[in-house]
Amino acid sequence: MAQNAFDNAMAQLEKAANIMNLDTSIHTMLKQPERVLTVAIPITMDNGETQVFTGFRSQYNNTLGPYKGGIRYHWNVSLDEVKALSFWMTIKCATVNIPMGGGKGGIIVNPKELSEGELERLSRGFVQKIWRNIGSDKDIPAPDVYTTPQIMGWMRNEYESLVGHSDPGVITGKPIEDGGSEGRSFSTAQGGVYCVTALAKKQNLTPENTTIAIQGFGNAGSHMAKILHGLGYKIVAISDSKGGVYNKDGMDPHVAEKIKKEAGVLGVYCVGSVCTPSELVTEGHCKIITNEELLELEVDILVPAALENVITKENAANIKAKAIVELANGPTTPEADEILFEKGITIVPDVLANAGGVTVSYFEWDQNVKDEHWAEEDVLQKLETIMVEAFDAVWNKKEEYGVSMRTAAFVQALERIAEKIKV
């Protein structure tokens, strides 16, 4: 990672704290996580050899409720990244006003290199190391980059074997048949879509005249592309770790997904026929683009939905989008934030734009502890209410203080946390 995500997070905290005159003792308290676990996870690989993986769990703050946040499997995971993500979870839960604190976990691993059995042993091994510190009333993990409902199912099962009783609320993002919530699989994207719709209303945009580029075609990005396409928005560019495709006329993300499944790379329908990147021309309506080029396209809305620190002081001046909706966590560095603010580009920040995931995770936990199962339409209705209320509250704070939506969201969240600490 080019830039230290935790330094970025602390710069954002500093900025909001100064603007709102946050109590110094609360500010100081929020400069580090309450607890960090670093664990070694020895796994017997399929070839019989032992390999030791490093895992982290950062429990940042639980003022508003149990620590809550995903577990990431990625070769670039670091303690600073996990700490930053757990801080952002603290702010995120407070921004959307749900009774949860902030946590995050990660394992340094390339999951694509592991067999299913190795992945299961690694996931169970992680829980064996952290189980005393998690639980439905303590710390509730969930999926994140390269972790899946299946992995959450293994983790829940391992936790329950260790504690000796059922506790489905210990983890969210589980498969539906294992206590998961309807709508959880696409809730991050759905929450982002509610933000796009709310933003479009403020900026007088209609779906047909709004072009969108999405970086990252995983859980968050691919669902976002499909839902927005269904609402009539024009998805002109998408990408994954291998690169991207662009179609000036707009594309059907379902087709891109189908091509990716068949050909292993994203593709588009181009002049009536299917084109994969290897067949695309580099000029004209359809073309292959790099991830860097995608970020600098002339579009109405840019959606970073992959990893952090992709919009930096090096490329911020070249961003031509009118607005950015951050589905990824931490895609914009503080320096880039300043440049984009000066350029008048509205950023719907990660702590708001991708909060749909944790909100439905909270619904899942709520259903588990009450032994209920809600219909998808009920889940989505509740999600919409929370997201629209949070969007409007942040928008009003932005107007009140004359700051970016990110700083406004931080101010809103910090006010809620500070109020609870004082009680």
Q: Is 265 exposed, middle or buried (0-12, 13-18, 19+ CB in 10 A)?
A: middle
In the complex with ligand NAD, the residue whose CB is nearer, 119 or 305, is: 305
Please give the residues from 109 up to 168 whose contact with ligand NAD meets the rule CB under 6 A.
143-146
Q: Which stretch binds ligand NAD (CB under 6 A): 11-19, 40-48, 303-311, 413-421?
A: 303-311
Residues facing 211 on adjacent strands? 234
| 58 scored as a contact of ligand NAD (CB under 6 A) | no
Of 360-399, which residues contact ligand NAD (CB under 6 A)? none
217 binds ligand NAD (CB under 6 A): yes
Which uninterrupted H or E stretch holds 107? strand 102-108
Q: Which amino acid is at 55?
A: G
Tokens for 61, please give them. Answer: 């703050």
The residue from 289, 321, 324, 327 that contacts ligand NAD (CB under 6 A) is 327
Q: Is 220 in the site for ligand NAD (CB under 6 A)?
A: yes
Query: Distance between CA atoms of 46 and 114, rounded to whole angstroms?
Result: 9
Stretch that binds ligand NAD, among 93-101, 122-130, 210-218, 387-395 (CB under 6 A): 210-218
CB of 211 to ligand NAD, least distance (A): 19
When asked if residue 309 is in the footprint of ligand NAD (CB under 6 A), the reply is no
The secondary structure of 296-315 as a DSSP string is TS--SEEEE-S-SS-B-TTT
What are the backbone angles phi and psi of residue 121, rounded to the nearest 5°?
-65, -35
Among positions 9, 305, 336, 380, the unique one binding ligand NAD when judged by CB under 6 A: 305
Q: Does 328 bind ligand NAD (CB under 6 A)?
A: yes
Q: Is 276 in the site for ligand NAD (CB under 6 A)?
A: no
Distance CA 415, CA 421 (A): 10
Q: Which is nearer to ligand NAD, 111 or 168 (CB)?
A: 111
- Is 219 one of the binding residues for ligand NAD (CB under 6 A)? yes
Instruction: Give Cβ neighbours of residue 1 (< 8 Å, ≥ 6 apart).
Output: 76, 78, 81, 308, 309
**Minimum distance, C-beta of residue 213 to ligand NAD, in the bound complex (Å):** 12
Please, which residue, 240 or 300, has the CB nearer to ligand NAD? 240
Q: What single string gives the DSSP state of each residue in 339-356?
A: HHHHTT-EEE-HHHHTTH
Of 323 and 328, the one with the shorter C-beta distance to ligand NAD is 328
Least Cβ distance, residue 347 to ligand NAD (angstroms): 15
Q: By CB under 6 A, how many residues form the interface with ligand NAD?
A: 24
Query: Of the residues 15, 83, 104, 234, which is catalytic?
Result: 104
**In what side-by-side order are the strands of the sheet with 67-74?**
35-44, 50-61, 102-108, 67-74, 139-143
Give exposure, 27-44, as e/b (b: 16+ Cβ within 10 Å): beebeebbeebebebebe
| Binding residue for ligand NAD, selected from 179, 216, 267, 334, defined by CB under 6 A | 216
Told to check if 228 binds ligand NAD by CB under 6 A, we report: no
The structure tokens 């998961």 sit at 180
Question: Which residues 6+ apart lie within 8 Å of 49 measured at CB?
Answer: none
User: Which residue has the CB atom at the shortest distance from ligand NAD?
Assistant: 218
Q: Considering the rule CB under 6 A, would residue 81 count as an interface residue with ligand NAD?
A: no
Residue 172 makes contact with ligand NAD by CB under 6 A: no
Residue pair 281/304 in contact (Cβ under 8 Å)? The answer is no
Closest CA to 45 of 115, 123, 133: 115
Q: Catalytic site residue 397?
A: no
DSSP string of 242-296, one letter each residue: TEEEEETT---HHHHHHHHHHHSS--EEETTEEE-GGG--SSSSEEEE-HHHHHT
User: Could you give the 3-state DSSP secondary structure of residue 118?
Assistant: helix
Residue closer to ligand NAD, measured from CB, 145 or 417: 145
Cβ closest to ligand NAD, residue 150 vs residue 421: 150
Q: Does 190 sit near ligand NAD (CB under 6 A)?
A: no
Which of 307, 311, 340, 394 forms a contact with ligand NAD (CB under 6 A)? 307
Residues that bind ligand NAD (CB under 6 A): 143-146, 188, 215-221, 239-241, 291, 305-307, 327-329, 354, 357
- List active site positions: 104
